[in-house]
Amino acid sequence: MQGQSGPGFSWLVFSKEKGGSMEPKSATPNYTLADEDTKMVDELRNWIASDSGNIPDETLFSISDIVPQMYFNIYCQVVSTCSVEENVCYILRVWDGTKSIQ
């Protein structure tokens, strides 16, 4: 994993191990984990431990490889989210780690 921290940007990384510590590696000592956050980490750990969480590398794509009507798997960072209609439609702004061609 590679990353860069700067003003206004912080991160937390949790172990993927089921039942693992809820003490993350962090870019800052100033963070708060709500009960909802802890529940989400547990749900993600359960998912990655299941067969659904085992995605073969040959099926992974970068954003630039995606074509219309294509099904794909992608590892990415969610940069921002927006709820268009509660519990119906969400927009995820993501980054796959590649450099922009612009």
- Tell me the pLDDT tens digit for each residue of 61-92: 777 787 788 777 777 888 888 888 877 788 88
Q: Where exactly are the structural domains of the chain? A: 1-54, 56-102
| pLDDT tens, residue by residue, 4-56 | 455 666 677 888 888 888 888 887 788 888 898 899 899 888 888 887 666 66
Query: With contact defined as beta carbons under 8 Å apart, do 22 and 33 qualify?
Result: yes
Question: Does the pTM exceed 0.85?
Answer: no
pLDDT for the residue numbered 7: 62
Quote the CA–CA distance of 51 and 29 in Å, as a whole number: 34
CA distance 31 to 38: 13
**What pLDDT was estimated at residue 3?**
46
Find the helix or strand (DSSP H, E) in which 59 lies.
none
pLDDT at 83: 82
**Residue 24: CB atoms within 10 Å:** 15
